[in-house]
Amino acid sequence: MLSRRNLLVGAGLTTTVAFAARPLRAQTRMFDGWPSRPITVISPSGAGGPSANFRLYTEHLQNVFGQPFLLEHAPGASGLIALNRVLRAEPDGHTLLLTSSSNIVLAPLVVADFTARLDQFEPIAMLFQFRFLLLANPILKVLTLDELVSYAKANPGKLSFGSPGVGTGGHLVTELMVKRTGIQAVHVPYKSAPQQMMDTVSGALQFTFDTIGNSRGMVDTGKLVPLAVTGATRSEAAPQVPTLRELGYPGFENLFVSIGLLAKRGTSLDIIKALNTEINRRNENEALVKKLREGAYEVMNAGSQKDYGAALVMEQNTWASVVKEIGFATKG
């Protein structure tokens, strides 16, 4: 049976980031004229956050394929803006999607007007995954999850939490925690995780979930207090933080989010396989693995494009159960 561990490891302004590369290698690979121009890689997230790690892959990809890979950020609408840009493009391998499973798997489960579907894309490869860390603003003077729950129950409806958008992993994992603990809180969606975290630090939000890596600086400086982490075991990146399961709240063990590369359905299988091979090769690079682990991202062999597709379906099933439990109506 496939497992995650076996397989893995509002509109906003669009911004483009081009990453410098070394001189091209002589053995540039091409498939029926692809690539004939720079590859545009569109991300639904705002600048910064997990998608920024794509810069660790671009030099290798350019050296192999002979064209730059240009990352564009198109946040908003729970990822639909970016996904639709890819769907409007020709399936010729020159426009790719770099997305988290929040946008490609979760949003279609809970956003009523979310028109993009997983089956409209060809999975290429998973890059890495990350788990969620529950954080509180120090103004609450809570140091544990139990203390947060006690505070919230003593102040019903007075707490707010953020997310990078309706239907994202950060949103749904918080809704599940709120339901399981029996507290009340108001959800405030943002276009990107950095905006959400800024408001958590300022006190506009009282608690939130984010990645361990994104929040490390704010935790180290005392601007945010870590309370719990998802996963079956403690994270190597934050060993002092207990899992939700340890704290008496099972059901969060498999709540991760993956970051991967996809193309519009209809893209040549030769292109898909070539990109998959090079992502796998890059994920074996010790320096890359070390860099990602320093940011609390978990890297394993991406497997074949079919493996990534199966992993996305597995995530879809896992999160569909969460959606059902917290009472969101799925699209039908």
- Cα gap 84→55, rounded to integer Å: 23
> Sorting pLDDT into bands at 50, 70 and 90, what band is 302?
low
Across the range 66-86, mean pLDDT stands at 93
Instruction: Give the pTM.
Output: 0.78
Give the pLDDT confidence score for residue 45 in this predicted structure.
85
Give the pLDDT confidence score for residue 332 in this predicted structure.
34
Give the pLDDT confidence score for residue 15 in this predicted structure.
46
Give the pLDDT confidence score for residue 299 in this predicted structure.
87
> Sorting pLDDT into bands at 50, 70 and 90, what band is 28?
low
Across the range 124-149, mean pLDDT stands at 96
131-229: CATH homologous superfamily?
Periplasmic binding protein-like II (3.40.190.10)
253 compared with 5, residue with greater pLDDT = 253
Tell me whether the CATH fold assigned to 4-128+258-326 matches the one assigned to 131-229: yes
| pLDDT tens per residue, range 96-120 | 999 988 889 988 888 888 899 999 9
8 compared with 298, residue with greater pLDDT = 298
Q: Is the pLDDT of residue 87 over 60?
A: yes
- Cα gap 63→25, rounded to integer Å: 5
In sequence order, the 6+-apart residues with CB closer than 8 A to the CB of 316 are: 105, 109, 118
Give the pLDDT confidence score for residue 17 in this predicted structure.
46
> Sorting pLDDT into bands at 50, 70 and 90, what band is 235?
very high
Give the pLDDT confidence score for residue 12 in this predicted structure.
38
Is it true that domain 4-128+258-326 has CATH number 3.40.190.290?
no
User: What string of H, E and C letters represents the secondary structure of the chain?
Assistant: CCCHHHHCCCECCCEEEECCCCCCCCCCCCECCECCCCEEEEECCCCCCHHHHHHHHHHHHHHHHCCCEEEEECCEHHHHHHHHHHHHCCCCCCEEEEEEHHHHHHHHHHCCCCCCCHHHEEEEEEEEEEEEEEEECHHHCCCCHHHHHHHHHHCCCCCEEEECCCCCHHHHHHHHHHHHHCCCCEEEECCCHHHHHHHHHHCCCCEEEEEHHHHHHHHHCCCCEEEEECCCCCCCCCCCCCECCCCCCCCCCCCEEEEEEEEECCCCHHHHHHHHHHHHHHCCCHHHHHHHHHCCCECCCCCCHHHHHHHHHHHHHHHHHHHHHHCCCCCC
Domain limits, the chain: 4-128+258-326, 131-229
Across the range 20-49, mean pLDDT stands at 74
Polymer length in residues for the chain: 332
